[in-house]
Structure 1
């Protein structure tokens, strides 16, 4: 991959070489612009490398659902649960939690679902365009997803969520009985009696490989990637200057797609945005660990089991714990132990643990659009655990904003000014 030199210039500089940043750089490049990516570590070095590899177009419900804060005491009492706040982080996260609480009110919840569903609909078709553009079909798995439930009562409790998905065009089929489940995925614990199969669910064989493939396409078309830490930024009406520890970069326009660190960059332009981290954990098992036929979701336990390079990745959960706390890999072990119970034939040996920072806004909607006070700076971050899923659509929307074109959908719900 090529790199820029100090005092280099281009039409657009993108901060962030994760899936959002690289996808956006490609979309801008396809509009005839010269683009440079800047990242402090390199391509897919953070959350984009270790996620579940799922394009989860069915996930239209925000994390902030009505009544969810009634569960808050349980989070604090169970630091290894599927959704937790470390007790020592309870005070620092309080302002974010207050916004999260407001987002869970019925009026805001309905607005968030509507906006998320629209973004998912665009994401689905945008991904197909992206796959075709970069000749990426070999990196895609079209094997569906099976969401599993333990008993009739648990399944019934999920029906409202599935009805909501149906309302927004998500196709699925309910499955009941152990034999019917086994036809889709053999080797399940008998405690699982019901499921819902989403046949149009898509995964990549490896999220890191996918982003690297996108980055290679970007560089093959003349794009440049620079590994550098951004330490300052200055915007003028006709240019943006980035100060980095490896030199200065000047561009006509800037896109901020730095994931969980994006709010730090936004402060250079006078914006203080409530970005938190959904710290996600997983364990990746080598090839042969289990014969996985489809992506498995254990929603009531907060984790998934997915195929990665022929092996198995067990991960999920949400730990709202900021950027500075050390990883608590007991969380990864808890998920792996549960997976061993739910999939009795799973070989849990020789696993590799990982933790990543997923950038999350209180209302579960990303920030997409121009910076409130600097029109030649565009934001593209805060996708939570849906960055991979929404990357192609975000790229198309940002490219439209940067080139003063009309976006393919209403992006007002994603404006930074909503906060």
Structure 2
């Protein structure tokens, strides 16, 4: 990642991964350089290393130390609806009126954000919405298959939890408003069932009686802890020869023969191929190649409580309030919501406190003591479809960013697609909807 703001003390520590000298430093010049040590870069490195290629990840902080370390831990393979779907567009005015609500914009940031918001609104048009939906559904199908394979190959399958999810509604009206979205999911053979009464209580004991109905998705998966998973997959990539270099990348350039990376200390590295997977900072690097990609930042907040705070059986989704509660191996994570505020503004932890207060109302008996607050940067594009493809011009650079809140979910699929692009192989799906040039 390429900015200086950090969200937690934990995230400031350098990676514990061995920092062997990069072959790029040694002048071999045969490597694939990946900018970004988050889950997308990790999976791309693993896939390329499996193919026998020499890979070096560059990151200013470490492996899985920033946004990928603190997400909600979901493999959200059924989350195919673009963010600009009709139901969300209708709720935007109400949400934006609440500075601590599910979707907020700091007033001072609004002028800068306006062009992105116009693109976001246009992405909800029927034809564009349907194209984004189809692209996401195809990506999710690939993502599930690729993750299951990578978990097995990396020996991390034991971190997978297959308890399903429970999406909760406070009224019949809210439940009915959700039905069109579930009808769309049914088109793509996503299993679910609506529950209430005793069945709802059995799926999650101790819920507030304000929740009258819910939708149970048995195929929804979570992981024990996203930071632990990311570091474990990286450890596997290392066994296949992948390397890490602690460095902040200031400038990038490329010609037909390769790419040049200029580090903050003024030294350079040369690589035959370059993968830009720097999350919310990726568009700044893409701009150096002449590509202007409308990436914005969904700033997500959470609080991780001790495991004993409440016995949560599976991920609970409070869609009307824009947050989730996830039981982890390392605690109970309460977080979510969207604040479109860029990468430079300081965190507004009143948002994480507001989510925790709601969680106490929704789970009477929840102990809010001992929590750790966190904020991360989700790289978001207006149509909710990531950028996966080649830089403009005939240069050996590929992009892998813009996954929004689905980076963990889609990381293994992205790694597979990046491997195919770098190696010149035919990818398993049409990449036209993910093209960097679509904007």
| TM-score range relative to shorter protein | over 0.9
Give the superposed CA RMSD: 1.4
Asked if 1 retains the 8 angstrom alpha-carbon contact of 2:255 and 2:395, the reply is no
Q: Any residues of structure 2 matched to 1:73-92 within 5 Å, and which?
A: 73-92=93-112
1:225 aligns with 2:244: yes
Shift of 1:70: 5.3
Number of residues of Structure 1 aligned to a counterpart in Structure 2? 418
In structure 2, runs of 5+ residues without a counterpart are 1-17
Deviations 1:207-258 (A, max 9, x none): 0001000111111222110010111122121211111125322111010000
Equivalent-residue separation in structure 2 for 1:160 and 1:366 (angstroms): 24
TM-score by length of 2: 0.93
1:199 aligns with 2:225: no
Deviations 1:12-53 (A, max 9, x none): 111111000000011111111111100111111211001011
In structure 1, runs of 5+ residues without a counterpart are none
Q: Any residues of structure 2 matched to 1:278-293 within 5 Å, and which?
A: 278-293=298-313
Equivalent-residue separation in structure 2 for 1:57 and 1:373 (angstroms): 33
Asked if 2 retains the 8 angstrom alpha-carbon contact of 1:368 and 1:411, the reply is yes
1:4 aligns with 2:24: no
1:318 aligns with 2:338: yes
Equivalent-residue separation in structure 2 for 1:218 and 1:286 (angstroms): 31
Which residue in 1 is equivalent to 2:261?
242
- Structure 1: 4+ residue segments shifted above 6 A: none
Shift of 1:120: 0.5
Which residue in 1 is equivalent to 2:61?
41
Which residue in 1 is equivalent to 2:351?
331
Equivalent-residue separation in structure 2 for 1:175 and 1:212 (angstroms): 37
1:64 aligns with 2:81: no
Asked if 2 retains the 8 angstrom alpha-carbon contact of 1:142 and 1:201, the reply is yes
Moved more, 190-199 or 237-246: 237-246
Which residue in 1 is equivalent to 2:12?
none
SS in 2 for 1:417: helix
1:164 to 178, 184, 208: 184
SS in 2 for 1:180: helix
Asked if 2 retains the 8 angstrom alpha-carbon contact of 1:18 and 1:47, the reply is yes
Equivalent-residue separation in structure 2 for 1:310 and 1:328 (angstroms): 24
CA 1:75–1:200 in 2, change beyond 3 Å: closer, same or farther?
closer
Shift of 1:7: 5.5
Equivalent-residue separation in structure 2 for 1:301 and 1:250 (angstroms): 47
SS in 2 for 1:143: coil
Which residue in 1 is equivalent to 2:429?
409
Deviations 1:41-77 (A, max 9, x none): 1111211001011011111111112375555443443
SS in 1 for 2:308: coil
Which residue in 2 is equivalent to 1:392?
412
TM-score by length of 1: 0.97
Asked if 2 retains the 8 angstrom alpha-carbon contact of 1:75 and 1:85, the reply is no
Moved more, 100-109 or 63-72: 63-72
1:21 to 33, 41, 53: 41
Equivalent-residue separation in structure 1 for 2:187 and 2:263 (angstroms): 47
Shift of 1:375: 3.6
Asked if 1 retains the 8 angstrom alpha-carbon contact of 2:162 and 2:221, the reply is yes
1:212 aligns with 2:240: no
Equivalent-residue separation in structure 2 for 1:374 and 1:307 (angstroms): 46
